Amino acid sequence: MTVPYYYRSIDFDKLVRDYPPSQDFAETVFLFDRKQIEEVQNRRFVEIVEWAWTNPFYQKKWRQHGVRREAIRSKDDLTKLPMVAVEDFKDSIKTHPPFGEHPGLTRADGARVPIKLQSSGGTTGMPRPTLFTPLEWEIQGIQGSRALWIQGARPGDVMQIPSTLSTSNLGWFYYLSCLHWSGIAPVTTGSGNVTPSRRQLEVAFDWGVNLWAGFPEYLLHLAAVAQQEGLDLRRLGTRFIAAFLGPDVDGSLRKMMEGAWHCPVFDNYGTHEVGLPAFECQEKDGLHLMEDMFIIEVADVDTDAILPDGEKGNLVITSLYRHHPPLIRYNLRDYIRIISDGQRRCGCGSYTRRMDHFLGRSDDMVKIRGTNVFPMACVRAVTSDDRTTGEWLCVVERRGSGLEIREDMTVQVEVKDAIEDREQLIHILEDRLKSDLGIRVTVEPVPAGSLREYTYGREGKARRLLDKSRAS
């Protein structure tokens, strides 16, 4: 038996030529004009579709929709291919356990190629396995190194990663980006359940941490702990925080974080399957898409019709590099909009298209009294008042009976201890939320820390919706 040694499993020189990391990316691909970007996308699209024809999952899917192999000749033919969604992958796993047909790999393939098993975070259901060969694994690390360089990280920096190296991907993603592709020392402290918050801060001060990556909820909690312990975060000299701000369209969450940590905060967008397809530059004017790795479409939430730039809808992504599994016209159901078509250069020098902040998940959307409501849209109202901790949870319940039955939403908002004018705060928040959500909701102040199991106390993304109406 021949052991599939990792270092032999990939041509690293070719990988770096094809997908330059870090500084090499910043000085080459990131500065491509639109013609160069389109040429790269078209070539890689044709190659990845040809590969996908060898995958039994896509063979069946495309033939069922009457797609002929010879009909897909360029990326202009992209919309001839049907979309896929998470339900398709779940069905594939159920029919062909444990991994499904779509990865194009079985357990036996581990004898010929190294395989990394990860999973979804399980925020929208049971975690499902996602497979990585060295190609997919290393390219995710390259993605992170690109964003970190553009945002200002440099070799010799030290990054603390308060996200556990578990079956979910975030901690691994930044660990790999730092160690393999950036010259940055990763400090993998894990979540607060692994390394208590006070110890997290002690490590940061003692070991010279000057970069952080993670979700806003826990980083704001760390800042609160530092204040309680009399620790001045300015002493850390943090260069910046790589965060995932969500629908922070007015910048209130960013302002809160930057005020607490005394450093810039950059937004990013990622998922466990595709890595980091979009990130902010230092201009903070939208998130640049990695267009040499992905083609992005925006689809109507109800009809799947492709929308023009500027319209809000579901992000549909085609990975130009992922072989196991291919991700072609994958509807992530993440609500976004494209804010720049790349025809005009960003202040940083890039012509890549840019998207707005991640606006929420369409499968978390609830219809209240005929209005589509996205729980993530509460962020501006909640974080704009410093009497709150910045944490909230939307609780939907069904009330009444018969013809009088209706669904109502209560927004539980954590408030700081000993606040004054409680009723005034409720009134202010209810007015702001009505403006942002389009309906009137009830605000219920709750004690600081009481939503911990849904927010910063969770491993991974915060949960913002508790829909009791579906269970009833």
In this predicted structure, what is the pLDDT of residue 470?
A: 64
Mean pLDDT of 449-464: 83
* Percent of the chain residues past pLDDT 70, beyond the cut: 97
Neighbour tally for 45: CB within 10 Å: 21
Q: In this predicted structure, what is the pLDDT of residue 77?
A: 97
Higher pLDDT, 354 or 250: 354
Give the model confidence (pLDDT) of 291-329 as tens digits.
999 999 999 998 999 999 999 999 999 999 999 999 999
More confident of the two residues 42 and 461: 42
pLDDT at residue 377, as a whole number: 87
| The predicted structure's pLDDT at residue 126 | 66
Q: Is the confidence at residue 125, as pLDDT, over 60?
A: no
Q: Which residue has the higher pLDDT, 187 or 167?
A: 187
Amino acid in position 296: I
Judge whether residue 365 has pLDDT over 90: no
User: Where is 366: in which H helix or E strand?
Assistant: strand 366-368
- Mean pLDDT in residue range 195-217: 96
pLDDT band per the 50, 70, 90 thresholds, residue 472: very low
Q: What is the pLDDT of residue 403?
A: 52
The mean pLDDT value for 207-214 works out to 97
Structure tokens at 432: 């702001």
Ranges of beta strands (E only) in 202-247 are 211-214, 240-243
Give the pLDDT mean for 325-339: 96
Across residues 188-200, what is the average pLDDT?
94
What is the mean pLDDT of the segment spanning 444-455? 90
Flag whether pLDDT at 453 surpasses 80: yes
Task: Specify the pLDDT at position 404.
Answer: 58
What is the pLDDT confidence band of residue 471, given thresholds at 50, 70 and 90?
low
How confident is the model over 371-412, as pLDDT tens digits?
888 898 898 899 888 899 889 999 998 876 655 567 889 999
Residue 123 clears pLDDT 80, i.e. is over it: no
| Burial status of residue 258 (CB atoms within 10 A of its CB: 0-12, 13-18, 19 or more) | middle
What pLDDT score does 405 carry?
65
Taking the C-alpha atoms of residue 124 and residue 118, their distance in angstroms, rounded to an integer, is 16
Least confident range of 2-16, 322-336, 413-427, 455-469 = 455-469
Mean pLDDT score across all residues of the chain: 93
What's the confidence (pLDDT) of residue 422? 86
Query: Looking at the DSSP assignment, which residues form a beta bridge with residue 267?
Result: 243
- Per-residue confidence (pLDDT) for residue 398, from 0 to 100: 81
In the prediction, which pLDDT does 421 show?
Answer: 85
Q: In 150-304, which ranges are E strands? A: 158-160, 185-187, 211-214, 240-243, 265-271, 275-280, 287-289, 294-299
Q: What mean pLDDT comes out for the span 205-227?
A: 95
* pLDDT (0 to 100) of residue 58: 98
List, as own/partner pairs, every contact residues 112-115 make where C-beta atoms lie below 8 angstroms and the sequence separation is at least 24, other chains included.
112/4, 113/4, 113/9, 114/4, 114/6, 114/9
Mean pLDDT of 91-106: 95
- Spatial separation of the C-alpha atoms in residues 468 and 472, rounded to whole Å: 6
**What is the pTM for the complete model shown?**
0.89
Ranked by mean pLDDT, the top range of 217-221, 239-243, 333-337, 461-465 is: 239-243
Query: Please, what are the domains in the chain?
Result: 24-280 (3.40.50.12780), 365-467 (3.30.300.30)
Q: Given this model, what pLDDT does residue 59 score?
A: 96
